[in-house]
Amino acid sequence: MKENENKDGQGNMPQNKVDENSKDRQLDSFRQDNTGKYMTTDQGVRINHTDDSLKAGSRGPTLMEDFHFREKMTHFDHESMPERVVHARGSGAHGYFQPYDDSLKEFTKAKFLTSPGTKTPVFVRFSTVVGSRGSADSVRDVRGFATKFYTEEGNYDLVGNNMPVFFIQDANKFADLVHAIKPMPDNEMPQASAAHDTFWDFASLMPEINHMIMWVLSDRAIPRSFRMMEGFGVHTFRLINEAGKGSFVKFHWRPKLGAHSLVWDEAQKLAGKDPDWLRRDLWEAIEMGDYPEFELSVQIVPEEDEFKYDFDLLDATKIIPEELVPLKPVGLMTLTRNPDNFYAETEQVAFHPGNLVPGIDVTNDPLLQGRLFSYIDTQINRFSSANFAELPINRPVVPVNNHQGAGFMRQTIGKGKVNYWPNSLGGGCPMMAPENQGAFVHYMEKVEGHKIRARSQSFNDHYSQATLFWNSMTDVEKQHIVNAAHFELGKVETKEIQERMVGHFSKISMDLAKRVAEGIGVEVPKNFDQKSTGNYENNEGSKKMQQGKSVKESPAVSMERNKVETVKSRKVAILVEDGFDCNELTQVRQALMDAGAHVKIVSKLLGMRKASNGEKVKIDKNHVTTGSIMYDAVYIPDGEQSIAALMKEGDALHFISEAFKHCKTIATSGHGIALLERAFVMGVDFAGKDSGEVKSHKGIITAGNDADADEFAAMFLDAIKKHRHWDREEKSMVPA
């Protein structure tokens, strides 16, 4: 190799420059549009007939020499790869990440986090954990939130979840966890659900799981949308700056739309009405230009403060309360494009928490350490090859130069005689890069100790943060946790398992334990003392933490206390039949659209509906294909004939009463007020039908015939911003 062949004028190796479109440009050569093209075989031979196999006579046997049939059928037979053991059902999107400024330079040399002028391409995959690829989106489950950054220094993967903690502390228990939570081995039931004996048997015998159980029973486990879901790196990682100094870090994604959830009844119904609910919501939002935005924030702990708290930073079942270490916003990720092909991109994307770039490294978290092996092994199993990194969606946007070669489905065509290091025949190339030219250098950390199967004693507190989570919830959120426990444990057939779980709840909160026990028909065990299953070793770190900093509650973990109020991208259903008030509908619909909401007009049948003034509107959805569970709010315009027809439609009455049951905003005027009363909308102070007043009560907006239309629309929009109106959640009398 010539001395200056790949160097700039100062003798430095050139830096790789990327921008937000670099991944798209790289993928362009792999994209294919068949429009106007002749069909060919995989070898490029044109085909003149693909409907019949080659036979010995029209009724004779198929001939072995039919290469087109054999190629076509063989490819079909092998189109499906093994699905992921966990996170099988996923949805993905392309976008970019851009840091706000260079303030993280103090802590890391990772360029994509410290170069505000750079838009780094990303691909994000959201997923459920437990269910198969064919399961429903809206099940109660943890959601994966994995981001692949195509940086100028190579690919970096932040492989996290929508909850900041995990079920277990050591990866050696991961197989047991997944075996327990998956369908039971004898009958392969239930699908995509933890509500069965084997999971709760495992959970009741593993005290370390208690904090995560509280998150899973909360509304976090049934997100309204991937766009309205927080993401967390879960583990404590390490940032390294140019001077080689390390700091501990936790990563957080915060959606700009805020974190919002479904209600459980709604989630169950969506699983049947539209099992692709979250996938469809993400796809349609991007297609309509409602690009999801997530702010990346970090919690940074100096190395010297490692033992400052009453929990271990390396314990994946613990959070760092934001009241102790506030979040530092560092940049914004925007998802701008849907995949061109689900299989080639969303299904074949391969993540690995060990895909690191200079400036970011792992820690000794025993769960993270196990993931560093598990992910690469899983990908090799799925792809039947170690060459999965060569697939277009997994390729970095910078050159790859190494001596990896051969293997199933190898795509790179290596040139030259040399495929080993060291070498002289290849000029010593590819060369070793010095650290000042972007080489990854592992963080230097002193490690010593006996070979032992044990955990640090500092991991042995399994209840404090579960209690912190419970204490941090609003009354509404607490009741939802209790309701979820009633459902989950109500499906458990073994009383001893139910009693053990209630025993754990009694160590979290006696109030929680009593309310759960009452719902599943068991007693709260007296003096419950479930011994930990772990083998814990006393160590210096645990002694230092005994008097460390702690908090009794953390409002930051409550969705209700941190609700973002917005109408943007909310979905509103308008119920009409012939004879509706066209002027009112037009005015309210325009106000909704101006605020960024998406409106669908719903009627008994598709086609056109005629207003009282003779104008017509197109119906977007009929009652057979949609339901209130698919909307954030409902509006019924006035019109005596239209309201009279809706009064006689069971589907319309159900639509309204169900929206009322799910605490959604409902608005109507004039004759529509009687429709609300007919639909069992109870305990609400309605406006007078013939008055000029507008009333907003418990998320129900009503207006008299002579009311101000602008005031009505403004109050409707303000109510939609609240997302839910929990003050009417006592709904046992609502028949929906």
Please indicate whether residue 480 is annotated as part of the active site: no
Within 13 A of 471's CA, how many CA atoms are on the CB side? 13
Point out the catalytic residue in the list 68, 87, 671, 723.
87
d(CA 21, CA 19): 5
The CA distance from 558 to 560, in Å, is 5
Structure tokens at 714: 């403004």
Cis peptide bond prior to 422, omega within 30° of 0: yes
Structure tokens at 72: 């076509």
Q: Is the peptide bond before 637 cis (omega within 30 degrees of 0)?
A: no
Q: From the candidates 161, 162, 210, 338, give the one annotated as an active-site residue.
A: 161
CA-CA distance, 8 to 493, in Å (whole number)? 71
Neighbours of 146 (CB within 10 A): 22
3-state secondary structure 120-179: EEEEEEEEECCCCCCCCCCCCCCEEEEEEEEEECEEEEEEEECCCCCCCCCHHHHHHHHH
From residue 74, alpha-carbon distances to 65, 71, 184, 377 in Å are 14, 5, 33, 26
Helix ranges restricted to H, 576-708 = 582-594, 640-647, 650-661, 672-678
Give the helix/strand (H/E) hosting 112. Answer: helix 111-114
CB atoms near residue 512 (< 10 Å): 24
State the pairing for strand pair 607-610/90-99.
unpaired
**Which one-letter DSSP state was computed for residue 521?**
T
Pairing of strands 90-99, 328-337: antiparallel
Q: Which runs of consecutive H residues, i.e. helices, occur in 455-607?
A: 464-472, 475-490, 495-508, 510-520, 540-545, 582-594
Q: What's the token pair of residue 608?
A: 């056109």
The string of DSSP codes covering 210-269 is: HHHHHHHHSGGGSBS-GGG--EE--S-EEEE-TT--EEEEEEEEEETT---B--HHHHHH
CB-based contact 182:190 (threshold 8 Å): no
How many Cα atoms are found within 13 Å in the side-chain-facing hemisphere of 348? 21
* Residue 87 annotated to the active site: yes
Tokens describing residue 323? 């009241």
Whether the CB-CB separation of 567 and 591 falls below 8 Å is answered with: no
The single-letter DSSP state of residue 335 is E
Among residues 480, 522, 519, which one has the least CA distance to residue 497? Answer: 522
E strand residue ranges, 52-140: 90-99, 120-128
* Cα(513)–Cα(401) distance, integer angstroms: 58
DSSP one-letter string for 409-429: T------SS--SSS-STTTT-
Instruction: List the one residue out of 31, 548, 130 whose CA is nearest residue 324.
Output: 548
Cα-Cα end-to-end distance for the chain:
76
Q: What's the rounded Cα separation, in Å, for the pair 723 and 201? A: 36
| Chain centroid to CA 589 | 31
Identify the CA nearest to 412 among candidates 436, 428, 430.
Answer: 430
| CB of 356 closer than 8 Å to CB of 318 | no
Place of tokens 């099988």: 88
Q: Residue 653: what residue type?
A: L
* Sign of the four-CA dihedral 249, 251, 252, 253: positive
- Would you please indicate which residues are annotated as catalytic (active-site) residues? 87, 161
